Every structure is written in structure tokens, then in C-alpha cells.
Structure 1
């Protein structure tokens, strides 16, 4: 498989995951008609993820890499917020209520601690979990595309001859100075973040099923999902 084919496959994987994500919302709604405040936060995260995924894939296919990496960083922001809900000083529903009321997460505290849940702290804690060490690298790399720095500069410039001290530069709607390896890297990170957001949602689905005594296997039954999601839901 060529590098170009690998990139196309990674982008196709993102599209497939985006198409599967709405079902998670249906499953949450099917568990019980009593929608919790944290459910509303989850729905917002999933909706944001699907739309960021679409923008990322479209940007990559349009050879607009400059616009793509910031979307990876924004998707990571959603994952950090989901994780913050699990380690904050509040219950998950209280956490969600405060977010819905406009309170900044960075002002909240880590449970049983005075540590604030700012991005640096969240990245450090999440990176310390097994198989999540990539979070710190993605966070730092993503920030370099949000803030103007060397990566932005070199995306429009290319050294032609070091001896003669000449460079090529470009201003246009393309990303011809970006290597295929860098594009593949961004697509890999995007997939990892999406997988983690889905995993965090699935953990919540399991917890919610357990809280009401519902066998989670029921959520794989299409008839069960259709019947349960026809009803009117209320939230508390």
C-alpha cells in the first residue's frame, strides 16, 4: 500500500466512525426516558465530533492541510472535557450542569485536591493512563498549528538551495509543501481521538445501563432501539 493509499484509508475510517457515532446517541436515549444532564453534554460532544470530522476530511481531500491540524486539536479538546468530568470535584451530572451554565472547566478542581482542571493538568493526567501517552504529543503539536509559529511558516516556504541561500515560497489554496508523512500523522491522531471519544461514551453507556438494571446487549437489538426511541424523553 502506498502512502497516498494509507492516507485515503485513514480518512475513510474517519468517515465510517462519523456514520456510526449517531447510534451512540440513540443508545443513550434508549436506556431510559430520563435523560440526565451529562447525556446532554455527551450529545453535544458527539455532534461536535461528527462535524469536526467532516471538516477535517474535506480539508485533507481539498489539499488544505493548513486548516486540518487545528481541527485535530479541537477534537482533542472535546476528549479532555469528557475526561475532566470523570476526575472533577463534582459528580458527572453536576459537572455537566456547571458547563451548561457557562462555568469554565479550568476553574474547577481535581477531586480531593486544589489542582485546577486546566489543559496542562488534564493533558498530564490523561497521558499518564495506559496507551494514552500520545495525548501530550498531539496536544503540543496541535497547539503549534493554532498559534502562529515555525510550522505555519514552513508550510508556505521551502529551502531550494542552502549554499545559495534561496527559498521557494507560496501563497495559494494548496498544501504542496506539506509532506505526505505529516498528513498521515494528522489523520492517525484524528482517528485515535475519535476512538477515545467513542470509548468514553461507551463507558458512560455501560454505567447508565448498570444504574437502571438494563442488559447492555439490549442496545444491539434494532427493534429495541427503535421502540425505545419513539417515546418522549424527559431530562433531570
Structure 2
């Protein structure tokens, strides 16, 4: 099977062992979440509400720990501009990664300034050329989920276009390493290996904004004997 220039560039800076460690980090997060986010420690509804946050916290801490075993990979926790939320930043070569839990690999994560900043290099144009290795930075997102599931149904490296219209390339880590998750979460359903399909990112429909109404002068019929003002 032919490998695209972008996928080739990714595997040159993120080795096979790192990809497998990333899957292990995802699997560990799901496993620990399903162990801990249950009654009596949480009520049933509260367990459901907190599960995705708990899973994210375990995964990103473990992802940084495993990534920093590799001398050429940099992984660190970063705060957003407001300082009230953190994300994990991973970089190797000229490829930057962050991670997001989403309902499916076709979904775009919620808007965040840090994602827009990392993605602001006009990368769609780069992907159409043979100059990927010369690009200053290329941004990709590690998409995993579904967030409320007992096991991850997908773990995908997705490269968004510069205006988030679509993912121009996807690398299906579960398809490349199908046995990693099942060795950690034995009850996980068998993983169906499919070729990634490039499709528009699903976003919520935009709210229709009506044109502002212009004030109108209400005219009255002239009464008999009334003088026009």
C-alpha cells in the first residue's frame, strides 16, 4: 500500500514504539477510568459526568511520561492564555501534536486558541507540495474516543486543513497496531481495520442571523377637515 508524503514524514519523526506507547497510554486511561468512576465513589450520574475528564487527565499525564522516554520527542503540559486550562504539547521534528477526545474521527474538537495558533501556518498548501520536510511546523491532532465508552473505538492522527474545513490526512494507529488495546483491555471489541476516508469535519450548524429590521414610518389617513402638518 502506498504511503503518502505526510504519513511518511510523520513516521520519520514518531517511531513505531512511540505509536504503540501512545496506544498503551490511551488504553490505560480507559481502563483506570472504568475502575474508578463508578459507585460508591461516585453516584451513577456523577460518574457519567466526570468520566471523560478523568480519562483525559490520566491519558495526557501518561502520554507525556511515555513520550519523554524518546530523546528526540518533546512533551510538556501547557496552559492556555487565560491560565485556566491545560493541554499536552508533543513535538518531534517539525510535527506538533495535541490530543482531543471526540465522538468520532470525523469530528472537530471544540474551538480553542491554542489549536488555532498551532494550526495557523497555512498547512493545506504545504500538503500539496513535496516540501513537507522543509515546513516550519505541521500541526496534527491525536483523536481518540468515544469519550464515554468503556474502551477506545479509534485512535487517529488527523491533520486539519488551515481553516479546519477538513482533515487532509488521517493515520489510523489502531489499524497499524491492532493488538495493543486488546492486551490491556481484554474485553474490548475486536477492532475493524478500515482505510481512512478524507471527509469534511462535522461541525454544529451555524445559527441563521436575520437581517436587522429597519424602522418604518407608519402613515395615517388624513381626516376630513384636518390640516396637513
Which bin holds the TM-score, normalised by the shorter protein?
under 0.3
- For the pair shown, which has the larger CA radius of gyration, 1 or 2? 2
Structure scoring higher RCO (CA < 8 A, sep ≥ 6) equals 1
Which structure shows the bigger proportion of residues in helix conformation?
A: 1
Give the TM-score normalised by structure 2.
0.24
